[in-house]
Structure 1
Amino acid sequence: MVGTPGEKNVVLAEDPELLTKFRKWMEWDQNETTRQQIQEMAELGQLDDLRKHLLKRLQFGTAGLRGRMGPGNNCMNDLVIIQTSQGLASYVMKTCGNGNQLGAVVCYDGRHNSRRFAELTTVAFLNQGFKVYLSSQLCPTPFVPFAVKYLKCNVGVMVTASHNPKEDNGYKIISPTDKEIQNSIMENLEPVATAWNTNLVSSKDVEDPLPTIEPVYYNILAEVAGHIKSRHKSTKLRFTYTPMHGVGHRYVQDALKSAGIDMEELLVVPEQRDADPDFPTVKFPNPEEGKSALNLAMKLADENNSPIILANDPDADRLAVAEKLPSGEWKIFNGNELGALIGWWCWVSYMERPDHLDPSDCYMIASTVSSKFLKTMAEAHGFNFIETLTGFKWMGNIADELIADGKAVLFAFEEAIGFMVGTAVLDKDGVSAAAFVAQMATILYEQGLTLNQQLQRLYDKYGYHVSHNSYYICYEPSIITKVFENIRNFHPNNGLVGYPSGLMNNKYKVTAVRDLTTGYDSEQLDQKATLPVSKSSQMITFKLDSGLVLTLRTSGTEPKIKYYSELRATPGNNDRRAIERNLNEMINAMINEWLLPEKWGLIQRSDD
């Protein structure tokens, strides 16, 4: 029997590792709520719950942490934030310290505990001698990389869980990203004496970055948009906007104003205008979810004859767009369709500039699971297209290298409605994307064209690129591993080293396989993938003789098996319905033959 002051005796001696973790938690945690929750589990003898909360730890990934708020090492809470920040600050000190004072940017969204977590993060950096730029109010995620770059800081932290459920929070880092950060966290678990003293945020070494960076951000946006603004005529295009209970409202208003958009024509969904950590009007605060997330915006737009909806996710780094069709139905553009439209707009707008570079020095970038429409455009116009791994970390790093080499990076995107227009922010930015989409729509409507009509024009010119992306939910990591191992050993000893050879009895044959978990790539002479390989995640891409490119991968932040597909038709093939039928036939076959959701108990994405 083991006892600690103020506690009932609990049976922990049978598990020495758990006893050690329990004692450390009770010693270090000064948050009365989470401390009491762990103590009650011990007092009630809930050893399985204790093991779940104390023996497992949230792992610091390439973008930071994200998880459920609660007690213990496997949740987002005060102690985990302190430990993470101490480890991150120590890592930055070791890798960037050169005798000068280091700088950190810390911002936060409107979720429960976000301000608190930001203050604890600030204290951890102050304790290691950093100058800290702590935002005085809720802030969009893209402002953090912008501030890090403009203020010449060494690291940025955004406290946000983006579009996750209300129970979650997160800790996103902007430069640096390194697997050694996790080791540094584990070496700095014990809070220093002043770690909990949030009064330190009043220190002279803490400054609000917003008064400095906001005018610069909007001036850059206005400069980029400037040569287009002069083309605006008298057309009054009414936009409907929702920040989805997040931070975007005033920032997007200022961005649209900078791009020359008439603010009198902007409608904001009143129920979703202000930040609310409970997201009361939506099941999921994610505009990617479609009509279920945009129904209030559609209602407001219908009532006010507004043909276009702009929607940010709660931390305003993503952008969704919907347009009312002549039939009265709303079309919600997927990320690939928006990527095609914005990519086209960036290209034609840039080439109108008198100072534009030769196309051979211009670049657009997309993640490997996103549409290859930009690649098709690049082949037609002579600019360069680069494909990267999923995640803006990869695209931002490539863009940074190209800029340093004197190249022009016009646009980067991922199919999950993430867009980087220009290079002021080397990350996805839903604020500037909203401004540029509004400007594009205004010019098109002045020419008598809708967004959807322009998209059809692009397909007529470059060929249809039709995609079908979705996911299955699986809460058991071991099952997810079995799903992918089954695919890798589908046909032992065949020409593709065990992978499936085709769909529907080889009606559609697999011509190439790239596995970025194992490093196998059938298209390379040495059969080794050229993109980075990660054994800690699952990702397999198949090419079929039908023109289909299909990728299966796991999510880094959610319990999902995702699939991404695109069928590229030749220019002149305008039978979209036939193309979509063909694509859907192959996707259904892939699900039934490869994923086997009934066998593995996978949960299908619910319909909107």
Structure 2
Amino acid sequence: MENTLPTTGDAKLDEAVKQWLRYDKNPKTVTLVQDLVKKGAVETLKKCFSSRMEFGTAGLRAAMGPGVASMNDLTIIQTTQGFCRYLEDSFGNLKERGVVIGYDARAHPPSGGSSKRFASLATAVFISQGVPVYLFSDITPTPFVPFTVSHLGLCAGIMVTASHNPKEDNGYKVYWENGAQIVSPHDRGISKAIEENLEPWPESWNTEEALKKPLLKDPYQDIHAKYFKAIQNHCHHREINKSSEVKIVHTSVHGVGHTFVQSAFKAFDLNPPYAVEEQKDPDPEFPTIKYPNPEEGEGVLTLSFALAEKEGASVVLANDPDADRLAVAEKQESGQWRVFSGNELGALLGWWMFRCWKQQNSDTAALKNLYMLSSTVSSKILRAIALKEGFHFEETLTGFKWMGNRASDLLAQGKTVLFAFEEAIGYMCSPSVLDKDGVSAAAIVGEMISYLATKNTSLSQQLTTIYNEYGYHISKTHLTTGYDNNQPDNKAVLPTSSSSQMITFTFSNGGVATMRTSGTEPKIKYYTELCAAPGNSDVTRLKKELDELVDAIVESFFEPQKNKLQPKPE
């Protein structure tokens, strides 16, 4: 068929297309490429074939569709072949220990791609090389994969998910033997191995045969039981939970979280949360929302607020589609809903986790082995709590890959890692999962709410108490779109690298500002926070001071650069 296709006039592009059509066995993506060639859609073909997806420390994430720049059957096979070879070189006992593979509910009918399909292909690749695969028989939250790696002592884990990205996207997230996301130099090593193993191996396409092999194991039931048993270690107020009359609404935002959060509440003896009916079942079309990202706040939570009003619930919990992140909102006395920022929820959970630990540990000497972590762009509130209470606080680079690996190191030294968080609503409340986990966090927040209710205290009131005791930490986060005066709207369109640059400033008034380039978009992100001393509760003045600081930063760092790039009049 390929020999009958017209050429594009670009020899390199033509060769890339020919190689694709030799390798690809998915009729939908084959047809899409053939149609593009017949139409002479050179620019679209260039987008599909000019550069391969970059395998970074977060693995892969891109739109589903044809070509090496997209997530599809062939690129999944090529990626997994490279990963398999890299693991063979890294572990002499890969064929004894094996890997785990999980997936969410994403699907893209036009290209025939889906998370389940990609997970099956990855499984076929490993099994063809004699590697045992623990493939979940159904959708799971992302945290189940790192939990399984650690629980079963596996060499690695793969989670097929695009988390909170738009519905067209999918991703391939990789965990190392310690249960944490990979960091350098593994990403570079895997990338090199992918390039060396582009031609599909004979059995890589044969998912039907692979799924019959004795090397295939289904860990679903075992891991489900062990995970919920593990998080019960963080349930400290079971009697309060049993008698609590607090009403909570939960939405899984058309993702995988519903069943698992219900089970987590049951494990804590909490009343089951009211589920948002329209959003509780997985749906890759995400029909009720524009973006499946609870970090967006009120727009994603509209149906949750409506259900809460109907049922008389005071709190809303929301997971992103792969249930590794958690958003929380609370109804205020004014009748308005307050959506807590990731930093505010980090303060509440940090306070709660330490309070519960302290109740269980009367020996103050144990404090010297106690740690909390957060990323450098997150609030410094844990640092303030640690300084006053006497435990250790450490800051890492941005992303849970850094916190997970640091937690792994500390645990290996016999330390206790109690809590870690990042401002993008990611929380690690249990060392059994060295990554953010929205399922365990949901149950722990549920217990915290039930406990506070016995004191006639709301989350908002408790947050104020925390700030009064440890100092107000007022923060603002923002994105600035990249500037390119060659584009009609001046917005940058260049592809971005996963290696983002970052700079942090600390100011004499207690202000901290961090600027970094986004690893996924042509944007600069800046994070600012004003850390006040305990007892300084003039919030209005503190907010005004932070606003002035942000204005000065924008004026000093962004406006001059933008003005320099403006075309000069002739």
Aligned-pair Cα RMSD in Å: 2.3
Partner of 1:390: 398
Structure 1 residue 91 and structure 2 residue 86: aligned? Answer: yes
1:142 and 1:429 in contact (8 A); partners too: yes
Partner of 1:557: 520
Corresponding residue for residue 230 of structure 2: 220
Aligned to 1:189, which of 178, 195, 198? 198
Question: Structure 1's 474 and 99: CA in aligned 2 closer, same or farther, altered over 3 A?
Answer: closer
Q: Does 1:327 align with 2:334?
A: yes
The CA deviation at 1:559 is: 3.8
Aligned CA distance change for structure 1 residues 47 and 332 (closer, same or farther; 3 Å) = same
**Correspondence for 2:72:** 77
2: CA distance between counterparts of 1:135 and 1:72? Answer: 28
- The aligned counterpart of 2:148 is 147
Return the letter of the residue paired with 2:144.
F
CA distance in 2 between counterparts of 1:195 and 1:473 reads 41
Shifted more, 60-69 versus 545-554: the winner is 545-554
Output the CA distance in 2 between the equivalents of 1:279 and 1:100: 39
Matches of residues 499-514 of structure 1 in structure 2 within 5 Å? none
Conserved 8 A contact 1:309-1:323: yes
Deviation readout 1:39-68 (Å, 9 max, x if unpaired)? 222222222222221121100010200011
Which residue identity lines up with residue 393 of structure 1 in the other structure? K
SS at match of 1:468: strand
Greater helix proportion: 2
Report the counterpart of residue 546 of structure 1 in structure 2.
509
How much does 1:173 deviate?
0.7
Asked whether the equivalents of residues 242 and 270 of structure 2 are also in contact (C-alpha less than 8 Å), the reply is: no
Are 1:580 and 2:543 an aligned pair?
A: yes
Alpha-carbon displacement from aligned partner over 1:256-280 (angstroms, at most 9, x marks no partner): 11112122xx211001000000111
Aligned twin of 2:101: 106
Q: Equivalents in 2 of 1:74, 1:416: separation in Å?
A: 27
Task: Identify unmatched segments of 5+ residues in structure 1.
Answer: 485-533, 603-608
Q: Which of 394, 418, 423 is the equivalent residue of 1:415?
A: 423
Task: Please tell me whether the aligned partners of residues 353 and 418 of structure 2 are also in contact (alpha carbons under 8 angstroms).
Answer: yes
How far is the alpha carbon of 1:478 from its aligned partner?
10
AA partner of residue 297 (structure 1)? S
- Which secondary structure does the structure 1 equivalent of 2:503 belong to? strand
Equivalent residue runs for 1:39-438 within 5 Å: 39-98=34-93, 100-112=95-107, 113-175=114-176, 176-177=182-183, 178=186, 179-199=188-208, 200-225=210-235, 227-232=236-241, 234-263=243-272, 266-354=273-361, 358-438=366-446
- Distance in 2 (CA, whole Å) between partners of 1:191 and 1:64 is 20
Aligned partner of 1:468 among 471, 476, 483: 476
Equivalences, count: 543
- Please give the per-residue CA displacement for 1:333-364, whole angstroms capped at 9, x wherever unaligned: 10111111000101010111148661111000
Aligned to 1:188, the other structure's residue is in SS state coil
TM-score, length basis structure 1: 0.86
Q: Quick one: which amino acid aligns to residue 551 of structure 2?
A: N
| Cα pair 1:474 1:560 within 8 Å, conserved | yes
Alpha-carbon separation, structure 2, partners of 1:598 and 1:241: 43
AA aligned to 1:217 is: Y
Deviation at 1:38, TM superposition (A): 1.6
CA distance in 2, matches of 1:29, 1:9: 19
1:408 partner letter: T
What aligned pairs does 1:593-604 form with structure 2 within 5 A after superposition? 593-596=556-559, 599=563
Q: TM-score, normalised by structure 2?
A: 0.91
Q: 1: CA distance between counterparts of 2:15 and 2:539?
A: 62
Give 1:18 shift.
Answer: 1.8
**Is the Cα–Cα contact under 8 Å of residues 483 and 595 in structure 1 kept in the other structure?**
no
Provide Cα deviations, 1:503-557, integer angstroms capped at 9, x if missing partner. Answer: xxxxxxxxxxxxxxxxxxxxxxxxxxxxxxx993221111222221111112223
Shift of 1:127: 1.5
CA contact (8 A) 1:63 1:174 kept: no
Aligned-partner SS, 1:443: helix
- What percent of counterpart residues are identical? 46
Q: Which residue of 2 aligns with 1:506?
A: none
* 8 Å CA contact retained: 1:364, 1:412: yes
| Superposition deviation, residue 400 in structure 1 | 1.0
2:53 maps to a residue whose letter is L
Q: Helix, strand or coil: the match of 2:379?
A: coil
Distance 1:427-1:478 versus aligned 2 partners, 3 A rule: farther
1:558: Cα distance to partner?
A: 3.6
| Cα distance in 2 for residues equivalent to 1:74 and 1:110 | 22
Taking the aligned partners of 2:553 and 2:34, their CA distance within structure 1 comes to: 48
